[in-house]
Amino acid sequence: MQNVIDRRWRRAVPCALALATSLGIANPAWADSPDAASVPVAGTDALRTAGDIVVTARQRPEPAQSVPAALSVVDGAWLDRSLAVNTQALTTLVPALTYSSANPRNTAFTIRGLGSSVVAVSQANDGLEPGVGFYVDGVYHARPATAAFDFADVERVEVLRGPQGTLFGKNTTAGAIAITSRLPSFTPAASEEVSVGERRLVQAKAMATGPLIDDVLAYRLSGLLTRRDGVIHNVRTGADQNSVDNQALRGQLLFTPSASVQLRVVADYARFGGDCCTQVYLRVGTSLRSPARQYAALAAAAHYAPPSTNPYDRLTDIDAGLGVNTNEGGIAATLDWHLGGATLTAISAWRFWNWDAANDRDYTGLPIQTTQHIPSRQDQVSQELRLASDGQRALSYVAGLYYFRQVITGHPISIYGPYGAPWLLGRTTSNGTAIPTNLLDGYGQGGDTRFAVNSYAAFAEANWTIVPRLTLTGGLRQTWEDKQGSYNTSVFGGPQVTNAALLAAQLSVLRPQAYAASTRDSSLSGRANLAWQVSDTVMAYGAYSQGFKSGGINMSGLPLDSANQPVLATAVIRPERNITWEGGIKSQWWDRHLLLNLAAYRTTVRDFQATVVDSSQTVALRGYLSNIPRVRVQGVEADAALHWGGLVLTAGLAYADGRYTDYPKGPCPLEVQTAATTACNLTGKALTGLSRWSETLGVDYRLPMARGEWVLHSDTAWRSSYNGDPSLSRYTWIDGYALTNASLAWRSRRDGGPGVELGVFARNLFKANNIQNLTIQAGNSGLILGTPSDPRTLGVTFRAWQ
């Protein structure tokens, strides 16, 4: 195994160096690309605060401080300095944004506690859509899993908090993450970056841009490669698991045949790989089930002990195969045509996502479940047509049409091993029939699923300056959607049994099921906003918005009736409907050196999509996906930035109180579970996955010297504790944590010119230990698994600009 790792390490470094140099050689001229964007690109000397950044939060360029809404903006220079290349790293910079990922498919992110969260439902369910929209260069990414991929060459990231149903491509109840990559430039430029660190970490980034036809056609090519050994050691195989092996490549063409027409074509491909992803022993909880069916007795009977009961030893002994191989890509064309007083924008895109992975879903060294994976393929096409007024005027507007279609096919497969029956079923059935120890050995389930959606929308928003400094905004969006889903699974393998009790025992673990369902709905959403420009540097606003998260179809199996048939009435999940009231102040002080923004909000969600337990109409052996009556989240947020000479300080603070205000049939906490399927009233309980307090602090300090400058950078994120499971068990509590990343570098470059930089960095500088997400082991033995945070990583970085 060590030889394999050594060979991988020897391959990684040359590949990284080749990537970092090959793109940079394309343009030997030493220059930046000042016309590439309205904000600084990576490596420029000045890191700007949000007050200087031009955003497109309302689908037209305007200063971030002019947008009367809660908005967090991180520019590309800060991202580069923070070594942030994915959505997970972005959470250290934006306190209201949280991210959870047990593996790329099970990726969830929330804003203000709402969205496609691990806290509510299985985020891997293909029939549901996220509550947080994820956009790259104006193109909506339908699957949350694509947010797990690395992104390269970013100009800025905008995190919009609250419903975004009026202007953005898809209705979302929680907010949107909008990533904008850097444009091609007609000024030749190139940059390279290589980082090497502990656990054989190698990360390389490179970019090249310049003209192909002077003032008519320009290109930009950028790429990223990240490789790192695993951080969880398998004592059984000797492998280091949860490794990283990612690549991303983006190519762009910018065509400007005239001053009024611009066409941008972007093609990208990304791959996420590695010996990933597993969890480790976190703790054991007890229930009201028979002691013989709980973890302590089960482990003792199997003569099993985990390699460690301290999750931060990062040890596992899983015995089943592990590995991730997923990729995504696509092509998009964006046309901007200035018509004189207005700009017509057309965005056409096609994207795909492929997924496959092997898992050990029992997370132990016992052969309970030997195979678990869901090979999947998603394709989507989208078309947006938008007309927006230009410049500042008494009445400005944005109006458009949107079409989106996606198709997802899956092939779920699950196979149990020789110790499946003793662990999951016990020694006898309910009527006393002895259960053979091999009853589940080789017993499995396979199948095919297909989910398709068509979505159409018309939208418009107008801004009316009633009197100077007072502007009223109103927007509406009408959405029509139709969805179809089919689910078909069968069982195979295992010993042949004729005894009815034994057959029922097998079927209690896996059973064949087939159904088809469809749904159609339409929704009108909108918002109203009143903004008062109190002075040139202070604005106050109040807003009302009504959001809409699409309904869906449960593509993970349905509860069964007394005839063992799927209950089709539970197949369709209704849309979520969201109402948000928000008020805020945006201000700049001390000759605009200090930025201070405040926002307060209250959000209620009806028909929140969550797990429901209802055994009165079915003989379900578990909860199922449905809607609960109401959820409420309210809070206060503050953002500040100080820019003084070579010092930039940024800070964010968020307080949130989220409650299930009406949840009568929720899943029961482990500590009150019995052998029967029962529901628990979770009304009034805290919303899962939401920290009451979260804050971020960033520091960037440049000390000029005779031939360059020293650059110190640090980012710290702190979150208070929260519950990591929708059952709200006391055993699924996740403690708060503080994470700090830092770097110190010497840069020979000044004022955006050519140069080089050499520095050192530390990820998780103070060795903070925290649990990123947790899982209750299938079968409710009481075993709780968790994904520990990465240990501290030290390394060096070399950057060059031409």
- Residue 144: phi and psi, rounded to 5, are -55, -25
Examine the pLDDT at 301 and tell me if it is beyond 80: yes
Looking at residue 237, its pLDDT comes to 94
User: For residues 535 and 78, what is the distance between their CA atoms, to the nearest angstrom?
Assistant: 29
User: For residues 34 and 37, what is the distance between their CA atoms, to the nearest angstrom?
Assistant: 7
Looking at residue 389, its pLDDT comes to 92
Examine the pLDDT at 617 and tell me if it is beyond 70: no
Looking at residue 414, its pLDDT comes to 93
- Residue among 545, 602, 607, 612 nearest 576 (CA): 607
- Residue among 560, 445, 442 nearest 497 (CA): 442
Looking at residue 756, its pLDDT comes to 94
Examine the pLDDT at 645 and tell me if it is beyond 60: yes
Quick: pLDDT tens for 476-502.
Answer: 999 999 999 999 999 999 999 999 999
Average pLDDT, stretch 107-115? 85
- Residue 77: phi and psi, rounded to 5, are -65, -40
Q: What is the pTM of this model?
A: 0.89
Q: Which of 59-63, 128-132, 250-254 has the lowest mean pLDDT?
A: 59-63
Provide CB contacts within 8 A for 143, sequence distance 6+.
353, 378, 408
Q: Which of 57-71, 567-581, 787-801 has the lowest mean pLDDT?
A: 57-71
- Residue 215: phi and psi, rounded to 5, are 60, 10
Quick: pLDDT tens for 172-196.
Answer: 778 888 899 999 999 999 999 999 9
Provide CB contacts within 8 A for 510, sequence distance 6+.
414, 416, 443, 444, 445, 491
Looking at residue 42, its pLDDT comes to 30
Looking at residue 11, its pLDDT comes to 43
* Residues 499 and 435: beta-carbon distance below 8 Å: no
What's the DSSP call for residue 295? H
- Residue 41: phi and psi, rounded to 5, are -90, 175
Q: Which of 147-161, 313-327, 517-531 has the lowest mean pLDDT?
A: 147-161
User: For residues 158 and 142, what is the distance between their CA atoms, to the nearest angstrom?
Assistant: 18
Q: Which of 130-139, 446-455, 652-661 has the lowest mean pLDDT?
A: 130-139
Examine the pLDDT at 52 and tell me if it is beyond 50: yes
Provide CB contacts within 8 A for 582, sequence distance 6+.
69, 70, 162, 542, 543, 544, 545, 599, 600, 601, 602
Q: Report the SS3 class of residue 15.
A: helix
Provide CB contacts within 8 A for 501, sequence distance 6+.
429, 430, 431, 433
User: For residues 370 and 445, what is the distance between their CA atoms, to the nearest angstrom?
Assistant: 12
User: For residues 295 and 306, what is the distance between their CA atoms, to the nearest angstrom?
Assistant: 12
Looking at residue 63, its pLDDT comes to 82
Query: Residue 679: pLDDT band by 50, 70, 90 thresholds?
Result: confident
Percent pLDDT > 70 in the chain is 90
Average pLDDT, stretch 395-411? 94
Average pLDDT, stretch 529-537? 95
- Residue 432: phi and psi, rounded to 5, are 90, 5
What's the DSSP call for residue 183? P
Query: Residue 117: pLDDT band by 50, 70, 90 thresholds?
Result: low
Examine the pLDDT at 7 and tell me if it is beyond 50: no
Among the residues of 582-696, which ranges form H helices?
A: none
Looking at residue 706, its pLDDT comes to 83
What's the DSSP call for residue 102? S
Query: Residue 87: pLDDT band by 50, 70, 90 thresholds?
Result: confident
Q: How many residues does the chain have?
A: 802
Q: Give the pairing of strands 240-241 and 755-763.
A: unpaired
Q: Which residues of 66-99 are buried (b: 16+ CB within 10 A; e: fewer)?
A: bbbbbbbbbbbbbbbbbbbbbbbbbbbbbbbbbb
Looking at residue 483, its pLDDT comes to 96
**Amino acid present at 491:** V
Looking at residue 674, its pLDDT comes to 84
Query: Could you tell me where the beta strands, DSSP code E, fall in 368-443?
Result: 369-373, 376-389, 395-410, 413-416
Q: What is the dihedral of CA 352, 449, 143, 572, to 10 degrees?
A: 140
User: For residues 145 and 601, what is the distance between their CA atoms, to the nearest angstrom?
Assistant: 29
User: For residues 289 and 675, what is the distance between their CA atoms, to the nearest angstrom?
Assistant: 6
User: For residues 608 and 313, what is the distance between their CA atoms, to the nearest angstrom?
Assistant: 38
Q: Which of 429-438, 524-533, 675-684 has the lowest mean pLDDT?
A: 675-684
Query: Residue 550: pLDDT band by 50, 70, 90 thresholds?
Result: confident
* Residues 552 and 576: beta-carbon distance below 8 Å: no
- Residue among 378, 384, 373 nearest 328 (CA): 378
Looking at residue 584, its pLDDT comes to 96
Looking at residue 124, its pLDDT comes to 63
Average pLDDT, stretch 394-401? 92
Examine the pLDDT at 168 and tell me if it is beyond 80: no
Looking at residue 151, its pLDDT comes to 79
- Residue owning tokens 């959870």: 100
Query: Residue 116: pLDDT band by 50, 70, 90 thresholds?
Result: low
Helix %, strand %, coil % for the chain, to 5?
10, 55, 35
- Pull the structure tokens for residue 266: 């972007």
Looking at residue 359, its pLDDT comes to 87
Looking at residue 175, its pLDDT comes to 86
Examine the pLDDT at 84 and tell me if it is beyond 50: yes
Query: Residue 594: pLDDT band by 50, 70, 90 thresholds?
Result: very high
Q: What is the dihedral of CA 416, 418, 422, 425, to 10 degrees?
A: 30
User: For residues 248 and 191, what is the distance between their CA atoms, to the nearest angstrom?
Assistant: 16
Among the residues of 406-469, which ranges form H helices?
A: 420-424
Higher-confidence residue: 550 or 414? 414
Higher-confidence residue: 143 or 418? 418
* Residues 191 and 206: beta-carbon distance below 8 Å: yes
Q: Report the SS3 class of residue 424.
A: helix
Query: Residue 614: pLDDT band by 50, 70, 90 thresholds?
Result: low
Looking at residue 123, its pLDDT comes to 53
Quick: pLDDT tens for 277-295.
Answer: 999 999 999 999 999 999 9
Q: What is the dihedral of CA 300, 306, 308, 312, to 10 degrees?
A: -130
* Residues 380 and 453: beta-carbon distance below 8 Å: no
The total of other beta-carbon atoms located within 10 Å of residue 761's CB is 21
Examine the pLDDT at 234 and tell me if it is beyond 60: yes
Looking at residue 41, its pLDDT comes to 29
Quick: pLDDT tens for 353-395.
Answer: 999 988 898 999 999 999 988 899 999 999 999 999 987 788 9
Provide CB contacts within 8 A for 486, sequence distance 6+.
448, 449, 450, 451, 515, 516
Query: Residue 101: pLDDT band by 50, 70, 90 thresholds?
Result: confident
Provide CB contacts within 8 A for 356, sequence distance 6+.
324, 325, 326, 373, 375, 376
Q: Which of 33-37, 505-509, 611-615, 794-798 has the lowest mean pLDDT?
A: 33-37
Q: Which of 10-14, 398-402, 500-504 has the lowest mean pLDDT?
A: 10-14
Looking at residue 615, its pLDDT comes to 53
3-state secondary structure string across 129-172: CCCEEEEECCEEECCHHHHHCCCCCEEEEEEEECCCCCCCCCCC
Examine the pLDDT at 583 and tell me if it is beyond 60: yes
Examine the pLDDT at 100 and tell me if it is beyond 70: yes
Examine the pLDDT at 710 and tell me if it is beyond 70: yes
